[in-house]
Structure 1
Amino acid sequence: MFVAAEVLGREHDVAARLLAQLVAHAEDHGIKDIFLGTTDKFLAAHRFYEKNGFLEVSKSELPRSFPLMAVDTKFYRRMITAA
């Protein structure tokens, strides 16, 4: 997922609001983990994920059903706890 360049940054807070909605949905539906893949080039994205509770995991730790993309070289997991 990408956010349009004109609404990037803290002043718009789009990424944080999208993530909050995703986590709320996961909590409401009993989803225990969120996994994501990204390229090693998106350093700002890495900082965002890590700041928001995602931990880097190896490719071998991904679920079998994870939709791997050829560009993804870095993977993250966030465990969801009930609110």
Structure 2
Amino acid sequence: MKRILISMIIMSSFLFAAPVNQCKETKLTETTSILSCPSGDYEATFELKSKKRNMTEAPSLKLLGKREPNIINNYNRK
């Protein structure tokens, strides 16, 4: 019974977890990446710390392209 309850708790946390970050990262080099987000594409430049990315400091972002929002007209013509 305990195993079933524990497995149900673990599975429910994966099933109902919402995606926090909707951006996709394309790694170009160790210091630069392209982030594809719903709002647009960004170039991220990271600082290096002992040949690895410094994850404590925020990267510098440069806007590459902005996406227009999808506008849906919900009305009926007569």
TMscore range, shorter length = under 0.3
CA radius of gyration, larger in: 2
**Structure with the higher strand share, 1 or 2:** 2
**Structure with the higher helix share, 1 or 2:** 1
Q: TM-score, normalised by structure 1?
A: 0.20
